[in-house]
Structure 1
C-alpha cells in the first residue's frame, strides 16, 4: 500500500518523465506542421511570377488550407480517441508531409487552391489531437507547462524554418530543372514524412503502455487523470453530442477563432512586409530577420507558462498575452522604419504564441473522454477558420480602405475581440478550470 507521500513522489516522477520524453518530440512534430502550413508565406512573390497568382488568389489559397482542416477535424479526433495516438498521429504526419511536398506541382490558381485544401485535409486533427493527447498524460495543474513545451514548435519552426526556407530559395534554384520554391516544398515536406514514420515507433498512446514508467508511476498518473475526469464529467458535458451543443465550448471556439485571425494574419505576410522594409527579395536575409520575433516568443513561452502553472491563473495570463498580441499588431502599422516595426512584431509574436498553450488549459480542464475528443476538435476546427479568414480579411480591408495599415488594424481588432471574450468567462466555469489535486479546484481571481 503506497503512502500519500510515496504516491505524490511517483506522480511527480511520472509527469516529469512524460514531459521530458513526449513534449519535445511533439514540439518537433508541431514545428514541422507550422513550417509546412506557413512556408507559403515565403513564396508569395515567386508564385505570382511563376504561377500567375495574384494577391486575392494568394490570400484565398493561403487560407483555404483551413477549410480542409476544419471539415475533418472532429472525425480525426474521434478516431484518435478510439485507435490511439501512436497510429493516428503518425498517419497524419506522413500524409501531410507528402501533401506538402506535392505543392511543387502548383502551376496556376486552381492547382494552388486544390493542393492547399488537400494539405489541410491531410493535417486535420493534428493540433487538437495533441491537445487531447495531453489530457491522457498531464493533470491540469501541470498541463500549461507541458503544452508550453509543445508550443515551442511554433516559434521554433519560424526561428529555424524561416532562415531554412530563405536559404533554400537562395541556393536551390535551377537544380534538376526545378524552381527554388519547388525544392523548398519538396525538402520540407519529406522531412515531415520521415518524422511521421519515427513517431509510430516513438509515441506511446497511454501511460499504461509506457515501458519507461514504473508500475507505481503508471498507477499514480492514471489515478490522477481518472480523478480529474470524474470531476470534469460532473461539471461539464460528458458526451460528444453534449460537447457540440455546449455554449461554453462555443465561447472557446470564438476565442480561439480570434487568436487564429491574429496569428495567421501576421505569419502569412511577415516575410513580405520585412522584404518591403529592407528593399530586398525574400531570401536568407529576410528569413533571419523574420526569425527574430519568433526567438523572442520562444524565450517568453517557457517563462510565462511556468509562472501561470505555479499561480494557477492561466486565464489572466492568457488575457495579458492576447492584449500584447493585439497591441503589437497595431503598433506594427506605425512608421516605415525596420527597427520599430520589427520590435512591434516581437511584441505581437510573444503575445499570440504564448496565449495558445494558456488558452488550451481552459477547455481541457472542462472536457473529458469523448466530450474532450469532440469538443477540442470542434474548437480547433471552427477556431482555425480564423486562419482562413485572416488573409482574406486583411486583403479586403486593405482594398476597401486603400491602406496596408487598415488591414493590420483589422487583425488587431480581432485580437481585441478575443480579449473581451476571455473576460466574459463566467465565475462558475472558471472554478471548474482550476482543478488541483487535493484542493477545492477553484481559481482565485
Structure 2
C-alpha cells in the first residue's frame, strides 16, 4: 500500500533511530509552541485578577464582568474555523505571528477601558485574534508526530493552560501589589499592560523560530525527515477509514457528541479560570500576592492532572475512560467547593478547587486524542477547529451565568452546583455515545494493519 503522497510504507531504519529523530523534533517544536500558549492563557485569564479591583474602580457589577469575561469566546466561535483553514494554506509561523500580535495589542488596550462596551469589544477582539491558536497548534503537532507519539506531547503542550495559571497567578498578584498608583495608573491597568507586551514580542519571533512542516526542516537531515514521513505515512494507511471531507464529517453523530462533550468540560474549566480568585477571596481575607500563590497551588494540580492523565492514556492506549473519569473528578470538585463555600471553609474551597482543576484540566488533552480516530486531512483541520470553537461557547455562557447568579443571590454556591452538573453530563456523553464509535475506529485500524504489513514486505 502507498500513502496518498506516494511515500512507500517501507524503511530501513530501526525503532531506536526513529525514537531519536522524534526526540529531536519534540525538543525543537514543543518549547516555543508551549510558551506561546502559556502567554496566551495568561492574557486570557488575567481578567480574573483584574476583576478584584477593576469592578470597584469602574462601578461595575458581577454581571457586567461575567458578560465581558465570556464574550471572549464569541470571537473564538466566529473566527476559529477560518483561522485553522488559513493555517493549512499559509503555515503555522505566519498564523502564530498574526494571532499573537493581535491579542497582545488588544490586551494592552484593556488598560484604557472606562465603559462596559469598551470591555466587551476588546474581550471579543482578544478572542477573535486568538481564535485558531488552540486547534492550530493541535493541527501543527499532527504534521510532525503520529498518534502514538502525540498524546504525551499534546499533554505537555496543553499543560500550558495550568502552567500559565500557576505562574500567572502569583505574577498578577505581585504586579497588582506593587504597581497600584504608579504613574497615576491603577494596579489592574498595569496588569494588562505588563502582560500584553510579551505576546507582541512572541508574535514577532514566530516566523524566525517556527518551521511549518517536516519537509521544510533544515535542522533535520534527509534521513531524519524520512523517519518522520515513514511513520506519518504508516499511520495514514492504517487509518484509511477516517473521514477526509469536512462536510461529510459534519453529518456524523460523533462530531456533534464530541462538541457537546467538550462544551460541558469547558463549562467547568472557564469557572476555574475566571472565578477561581473570587471563590478563594470569598472565604479568605488575604492580599493579592498571597492570593496569587494560593491560585498557583490550585493550578499546579491542574498541570499535574494533565501530565499524569496524558501519560496514563498513552501507556494504556485508551482515551475514552481517561477523559470521562477525569471530568467526573472535575465535577465532584466543584460540588465540594460549593459545599465548602456555603460552610465558610476557606481550606475546603482551596482543596476542592485543586481537585476540580486536576480532573477538569486533566481531561482536556486526552479528549483531543478522540477526533483523529474519526477524521483526517481537511476534515480534521476544520473539525478540530469546529469542535473547539463551538464547545468554547461554554466559556461565553459559564461566566455570565455565574456572574448573574452571584448578582442575584449574593453567593456563588448555587451556580457551582449547576456547573458541576453540566460537567458531569460530559461523563455520560463520552461513556454512552462515544464508545461504539471509538470501537468502530479501533476495528478499522486493526483491519488496516495487516494490509500495511503486507505492503512493507
- TM bucket normalised to smaller: over 0.9
Q: After TM superposition, give the deviation of residue 301 of structure 1 in Å.
A: 2.6
Match of 1:379 among 358, 368, 387: 387
Is 1:129 aligned with 2:140?
Answer: no
Which stretch shifts more, 392-401 or 21-30? Answer: 392-401
User: Counterparts of 1:235 and 1:396 in 2: how far apart (Å)?
Assistant: 46
The alignment yields a C-alpha RMSD, in angstroms, of 2.2
User: Counterparts of 1:10 and 1:89 in 2: how far apart (Å)?
Assistant: 31
Do the aligned partners of 1:7 and 1:220 also contact (CA within 8 Å) in 2? no
The match for 1:73 is 80
The match for 2:438 is 429
User: Counterparts of 1:252 and 1:338 in 2: how far apart (Å)?
Assistant: 35
The match for 1:47 is 54
Match of 2:281 among 265, 270, 275: 275
List per-residue Cα deviations over 1:166-217 (Å, max 9, x = no partner): 1110111122222111111011111111122222211111111112222122
Which consecutive unaligned segments of at least 5 residues does structure 2 have?
1-7, 452-457
In the alignment of these two chains, the number of paired residues is 439
Q: After TM superposition, give the deviation of residue 236 of structure 1 in Å.
A: 2.9
User: Counterparts of 1:38 and 1:163 in 2: how far apart (Å)?
Assistant: 13
User: Counterparts of 1:377 and 1:75 in 2: how far apart (Å)?
Assistant: 8
Matched position secondary structure for 2:368: helix
The match for 1:295 is 300
The 1:277/1:166 distance shift into structure 2, 3 A limit, reads same
Q: After TM superposition, give the deviation of residue 438 of structure 1 in Å.
A: 8.9
User: Counterparts of 2:75 and 2:27 in 1: how far apart (Å)?
Assistant: 33
The match for 2:243 is 237
Is 1:25 aligned with 2:68?
Answer: no
Which stretch shifts more, 339-348 or 374-383? Answer: 339-348
The 1:2/1:81 distance shift into structure 2, 3 A limit, reads closer
The match for 2:455 is none
User: Counterparts of 1:323 and 1:287 in 2: how far apart (Å)?
Assistant: 27
User: Counterparts of 1:284 and 1:60 in 2: how far apart (Å)?
Assistant: 26
Which stretch shifts more, 395-404 or 284-293? Answer: 395-404
Q: After TM superposition, give the deviation of residue 300 of structure 1 in Å.
A: 3.4
User: Counterparts of 1:270 and 1:432 in 2: how far apart (Å)?
Assistant: 38
Do the aligned partners of 2:309 and 2:363 also contact (CA within 8 Å) in 1? no
Do the aligned partners of 1:172 and 1:180 also contact (CA within 8 Å) in 2? yes
TM (normalized to structure 2)? Answer: 0.91
User: Counterparts of 1:95 and 1:249 in 2: how far apart (Å)?
Assistant: 30
Do the aligned partners of 1:140 and 1:436 also contact (CA within 8 Å) in 2? no
TM alignment of 1:321-400, pairs within 5 A: 321-335=326-340, 336-398=344-406
The match for 2:421 is 413
Which consecutive unaligned segments of at least 5 residues does structure 1 have?
none
User: Counterparts of 2:76 and 2:441 in 1: how far apart (Å)?
Assistant: 30
Which stretch shifts more, 57-66 or 209-218? Answer: 209-218
Q: After TM superposition, give the deviation of residue 51 of structure 1 in Å.
A: 1.9
Match of 1:174 among 154, 178, 181: 181
